[in-house]
Structure 1
Amino acid sequence: MKSPLNREQTIDLLRAHDINLTQPRIDIAHVLFSRMEHLSADQILAMVNETSPSASKATVYNTLKVLREAGLIREVIVDPTKVFFDPNTEPHHHLYDVVTGCLTDIPNHTLRVEGMPDLPPGMVADGIDIVVRMRPGLQSMGGEGALSH
């Protein structure tokens, strides 16, 4: 996993990818790359606007699209209503706690996928993204008694 970047390193990264520098883009990218965490667009917007209200929701989404298209972040869809943006673009997978909403990395080498479906002619696999959704089991919720009325 990459190390967190300071503001100047974030600006250098954007320049290296020919991304037009605007204050909101720098602020949004800095939130992502200084933390190296999985964040939703709403979380990013709130963090950016804590320090300098320079971004709208549309600006956040547009910037995230630019960063994704440049290969600087990954979009992780954990369910149809919840999307995270991941500054770790190295091959890896995710654990998603459906109760807390926490998304954590699973190192690529700890998960093995055997077998691939036949792809249509002329197509090659571009990657495999696995999200393991988890919740507390009966034991951690107080055993069977937790379900009785």
Structure 2
Amino acid sequence: MSDSISVLDDAAAVAEINHGRQPALTGCPWHDVNEMLQSVGLRPTRQRMALGWLLFGKGARHLTAEMLYEEATLAKVPVSLATVYNTLNQLTDSGLLRQVSVDGTKTYFDTNVTSHHHYYLENNHELVDIPDQNLVLTKMPEVPEGFEISRIDMVVRLRKKR
């Protein structure tokens, strides 16, 4: 039995994930997830397809591996937390996700891979896009010889006033 899902398997895969019930998930169409994975050279396994369906079907969002694992569990998608981590890292390495670290202890995965910055809401442990596209850094440090800046991530931490 093959690990990959074709467009013709969409209905069967949805039924399998939901055990014959009405689909409880909302997500990106299976063929779109399939095309996204194949466009970056990732094989569209059932687990990648299901996680991609959960990830990309709700617009731009920020998730931790634990949050995606919880969504997958609620949706009856049979994956381990290790598989979720591996898939998120593969999607990040392939450019389909952007990794944003907060405090070095919490890592979020952003489905919006365009250049932008974030607010981190400390009270809610939530990452939110900064809407101002005109945010500009006016002075950059000198880059050591042999290196170039690949990306700048700014996270502005917010907390409720006391």
TM range (shorter): 0.7 to 0.9
1:24 aligns with 2:37: no
Determine which of 133, 137, 142 is the counterpart of 1:109: 133
In structure 2, list runs of 5 or more residues that go unmatched: 1-26
Q: Percent identity?
A: 35
2:161 partner SS:
coil
Distance apart, 1:108 and its partner CA? 6.0
1:48 aligns with 2:72: yes
Q: Counterparts of 1:1-149 in structure 2 under 5 Å?
A: 5-35=28-58, 36-107=60-131, 109-138=133-162
Contact 2:28–2:54 (Cα < 8 Å) also in 1: no
Deviations 1:81-119 (A, max 9, x none): 211110110000000100011211114623110111111
TM-score, length of structure 2 as denominator length: 0.78
CA gap 1:20/1:63 in 2 versus in 1, 3 angstroms: same
Letter in 2 for 1:81: T
- Aligned counterparts of 1:8 and 1:47: Cα–Cα separation in 2: 21
Alignment size in residue pairs: 135
TM-score, length of structure 1 as denominator length: 0.84
In structure 1, list runs of 5 or more residues that go unmatched: 139-149
Deviations 1:60-79 (A, max 9, x none): 01111110110110111112
Distance apart, 1:51 and its partner CA? 2.0
- Aligned counterparts of 2:48 and 2:37: Cα–Cα separation in 1: 9
1:76 partner SS:
strand
Runs (4+) of structure 1 exceeding 4 A deviation are none
Distance apart, 1:44 and its partner CA? 0.4
